[in-house]
Amino acid sequence: MKRVIEHPVLGRLEDAKEVKISVDGKEMTAREGEMIAAALFANGKNVFRYTNKRHEPRGVYCGIGRCTDCVMIVNGVPNVRTCVTPVEAGMVIETQQGIGHWGEEGSGDRGGEDGTH
Amino acid sequence: MKMDEKKEMKNDKDRLICRCEEITLGEIEQAIDEGCTTLNEVKRRTRAGMGLCQSRTCSKQIARIIAQKTGKPLSEIMPVTSRPPARPVKIDVFRTGESNEESN
Amino acid sequence: MVRTEVAVVGAGPAGLSAAIECARAGAKVTLIDENAKPGGQLFKQIHKFFGSREHRAGIRGIRIGEELLAEAQALNIDVWLNAEVCGIYRGSELWVVVDHSESRLVKADAIIIATGATENAVSFNGWSLPGVMGAGAAQTMINLHRVLPGNRIMMIGSGNVGVIVSYQLMQAGAEVAAIVEAAPRLGGYGVHTAKVRRAGVPFYTSHTVLEARGSDHVESAVIVQLDDKWQPVAGTEKEFDVDTICIAAGLTPLIELAAGAGCSTCFIPALGGHIPAHDEKMRTSLDTVYIAGDIAGVEEASTAMEEGRLAGIHAAAALGHYGTDEESRRSAEVWKRLSTLRSGPFGQKRREAKDEILNSRRTLSERV
């Protein structure tokens, strides 16, 4: 799942600032402002969660924030749609199991202030 | 689509129809066998359509299954009843005193 | 409570065109979109539009998107992004939640709903495996996010979306192992289909996907031939080594807001299913609520823009910004272009289907 650097219509991919994110405890490099799902794909990860009932792997399905297949735990908040949420430096991303759990950084008061869900 | 009508006849009971709630073809067919003839009824019985995508992905598939099993024309199988909020809304949003707008 | 004249829901080609038209007429417009960026599906469309009419100059969807945005900005239209319309009441009030945190009530004299359509699902064993996705999802990944969803793709569906996205996947550097079509004939425009054929992609008509295989991710796909009764023919299974399966099986109008608002619907399979009935002015069964674009029947971006203009013209006129003569003149120009867009072998079917919607709306009026 490599990046599309050269493209016959869109031209060369512009350079972007690199940011470091943590994915299941592992450090990965992403382009600033890109969608989490895109950063994960570029880093070779395409399984984002395991379902509640059947513990089955899920990844990207609709890609535009409507189906919620791609949700992960982001900075302690579960059910974050990774295909429409941009990365930020230092973001902590975890593969979600089932309906997920609220981490130490996440709490009810945090709802919505980072604009993600 | 005809492709999918044929698919339903394969009797693949374990095949997922509602991705969000993980409801299978078998469960949906059972609900219909037990008397459900509308999307609302199948939803209430099985939870298909109650998940985060609110039936967006499974609606047409379930309608086809109902049509096949009951003979009801697709034109008469309505989508699940749409009610506000059309998007998930956090309880936070309903807290008073948060907004700058004059309350009405 | 925010007071506006025209509230437009959805800033894709139809919504943008409607907002621009209303603003040009002098109406106060509030354009509301749930995404972080406007443009709807336009910015993924890197191919040239109007490809089926060889004599027309082709314009890429991305270019059209840029032009519409520039026009909207120049007209100082109030645009709300990350703003989700959660409900429409009494044909004139909208409950909007901005940034998932702030609730706003909007009072409008007219509402134009341009919420587009969603990709259809096709289920088969293993279809929930990572690697199975909508063709639109793959298109978003490669054209917007500039990352490949996989390296070796199977495309299900040979309609326009299927062949166009297949071609774009190849432009992005992926291999398309096969295009699978259940019908005995291919479904897309000749121009796009020919391009993909020339690039060496095999088409399998009268075939359907049987299974996606893999443990954590798609590793292979099995397809099977169908007989003339659409039944799988035993022994014709073929397995393909692929890591991605894209589903291009048509679109369905997103009518939840319109239906929730109380708009009557009609059932038009050729245009995607249940659709709010509308008249020649793009008005639904609710006097103050208009629709435009794919929500009014799945067609193309070009028709979406024209319908948006139409809704804009008539909404603005209803609010007194155009007199009847001006309204008729402008409307006639749009209808002329719509007729051209709905001509030819593909267009004719859409025209007939749109006429069914108009008839349905007329029947409603007669009943009342």
- Report the pLDDT value the prediction gives residue C346, as an integer from 0 to 100: 84
- Report the pLDDT value the prediction gives residue C103, as an integer from 0 to 100: 95
- Report the pLDDT value the prediction gives residue C88, as an integer from 0 to 100: 98
Q: Judge whether B17 is closer than 8 Å to chain C, CB to CB.
A: yes
DSSP string, C183-202: SSS--S-HHHHHHHHHTT--
Round to whole Å and give the CA distance between C15 and C9: 7
For the residues B57-75, what does the mean pLDDT come to? Answer: 97
- The stretches of chain C forming alpha helices (DSSP H) are 13-25, 61-74, 135-139, 160-171, 190-198, 256-261, 301-318, 324-341, 344-367
- Report the pLDDT value the prediction gives residue B96, as an integer from 0 to 100: 64
pLDDT at residue A113 above 90? no
What is the value of pTM for the model shown?
0.92
Shortest CA distance to B98 belongs to which of C100, A86, C148, A8? C100
* Contact residues on chain A for B19, CB-CB shorter than 8 A: 58, 61, 67, 69
Nearest CB to A68; choose among B52, B92, B93: B52
Verify whether the Cβ–Cβ distance A4 to C173 is below 8 Å. yes
Round to whole Å and give the CA distance between C161 and C27: 36
Q: Reduced to 3 states, what is the DSSP secondary structure of residue A14?
A: coil
- Assign A60 a pLDDT band (cuts: 50, 70, 90): very high
For the residues C286-305, what does the mean pLDDT come to? Answer: 96
For the residues C114-135, what does the mean pLDDT come to? Answer: 97
Round to whole Å and give the CA distance between C139 and C164: 9
Residue A29 lies in a domain: yes
- Report the pLDDT value the prediction gives residue C155, as an integer from 0 to 100: 98
- Assign B101 a pLDDT band (cuts: 50, 70, 90): low
The rounded radius of gyration (Å) of the Cα atoms in chain B is: 17
Extents of the domains making up chain B: 2-94
Q: Judge whether B13 is closer than 8 Å to chain C, CB to CB.
A: no
Residue A25 lies in a domain: yes
Q: Judge whether C274 is closer than 8 Å to chain B, CB to CB.
A: yes
- Assign A1 a pLDDT band (cuts: 50, 70, 90): confident
Ordered structural domains, chain C, with CATH:
2-118+251-367 (3.50.50.60), 121-247 (3.50.50.60)
- Report the pLDDT value the prediction gives residue B57, as an integer from 0 to 100: 96
Residue A117 lies in a domain: no
Which residue in A52, A62, A68, A77 has the most chain B C-beta atoms within 10 A of its own C-beta, making it the best mutation to test that interface? A68
pLDDT at residue C252 above 90? yes
Residue A87 lies in a domain: yes
For the residues C159-182, what does the mean pLDDT come to? Answer: 97
Nearest CB to A7; choose among C119, C138, C171: C171
DSSP string, C125-150: BTTTSTTEEEHHHHHIIIIIS-B-S-
Distances (CA, A) of A64 to A35, B47, C41, C133: 11, 24, 10, 11
Tokens of C360: 């349905």
* Contact residues on chain C for B7, CB-CB shorter than 8 A: 122-124, 208
Residue A9 lies in a domain: no
Verify whether the Cβ–Cβ distance C257 to B4 is below 8 Å. no
Shortest CA distance to C111 belongs to which of C282, C343, C233? C282
Residue A104 lies in a domain: no
- Token match 């259809």: residue? C120
What is the CATH number that goes with domain B2-94?
1.10.10.1100
pLDDT at residue C54 above 50? no
Q: The domain spanning residue A23 has which CATH number?
A: 3.10.20.440
pLDDT at residue A94 above 50? yes
pLDDT at residue A112 above 70? no
**CA B64-B68-B72 angle, 5° bins:** 85
Shortest CA distance to C193 belongs to which of C161, C223, C147? C161
pLDDT at residue C237 above 70? yes
Which residue in C60, C129, C145 has the most chain A C-beta atoms within 10 A of its own C-beta, making it the best mutation to test that interface? C145
For the residues C316-320, what does the mean pLDDT come to? Answer: 98
DSSP string, A58-103: E--SSSSSSS-TTEEEETTEEEEETTSSB--TT-EEEPEETT----
For the residues B4-12, what does the mean pLDDT come to? Answer: 50
- Assign C57 a pLDDT band (cuts: 50, 70, 90): low
- Assign C76 a pLDDT band (cuts: 50, 70, 90): confident
Q: Give ipTM to 2 decimals.
A: 0.92
